[in-house]
Amino acid sequence: MNGTPTLRDWIEGTLADALAPTSLNVIDESHLHAGHAGARPGGETHFRLDVVSAAFEGRSRVDRHRLVNGLLAQAFERGLHALAVKARTPAEAA
């Protein structure tokens, strides 16, 4: 791989390191938003996450989203426009 990882790879690595998820799906949905606000050629502007981690235990849905958004703050600086998050505990995913 050359120098800078794709935004998708960076998101996946950042969440894997911080949350030790039992399941993590990072889906680039940018192609669904072509022509809309924030879209750009080459994609990597709109992502959907499905992450399962014990790190979410005891946290409200809002707190889970704040945690994920905080971890990914640099992604917004790199051009991320929209992020849909499904954050569950292992018990909720069973």
Sheet holding 82-88, edge to edge: 23-28, 46-52, 82-88
Which pLDDT score is estimated for 37?
Answer: 58
Query: Has residue 15 been placed in a domain?
Result: yes
Query: Has residue 67 been placed in a domain?
Result: yes
pLDDT band at 79 (very low <50, low <70, confident <90, very high): confident
Mean pLDDT of 37-58: 82
Number of domains in the chain: 1
Mean pLDDT of 31-55: 75
CATH code of 49's domain = 3.30.300.90
Give residues with Cβ within 8 angstroms of 4, minimum separation 6: none
% of the chain with per-residue pLDDT over 70: 84
pTM, to two decimals: 0.84
Query: Has residue 1 been placed in a domain?
Result: no
